[in-house]
A = this chain, B = another copy of it.
Amino acid sequence: MTIHQEFNIGELAREFDITTRTIRHYEDLGLLKPRRQGQSRIYSPADRTRLKLILRGKRLGFSLEESRAIVDLYDPTHGNIQQLQALLEHIGQQRDKLNQQLDDIGKMLSSLDEAEAGCRAALDKTRERTKEKPREQT
List A residues at the B interface (Cβ < 8 Å). 53, 56-62, 70, 73-74, 76, 78, 80-81, 84-85, 87-88, 91, 94-95, 98, 100-102, 104-105, 107-109, 111-112, 115-116, 119-120, 122-123, 126-127, 138
Contacts and interface: CB of A to CB of B under 8 A. Distances in A.
Contact of A76 (B73, B119, B127, B138): B119
Contacts of A95: 109, 112
Given A81-B123, A87-B119, A108 B56 contact: yes
A58 to B, nearest CB: 8
B59 A122 contact: no
Contact of A60 (B73, B84, B104, B112): B104
Given A56-B107, A81-B123, A85-B123, A115 B91 contact: yes
A35 to B, nearest CB: 25
Smallest CB-CB A-B distances: 7 pairs: A61-B61, A73-B115, A78-B122, A98-B105, A84-B123, A56-B104, A91-B116
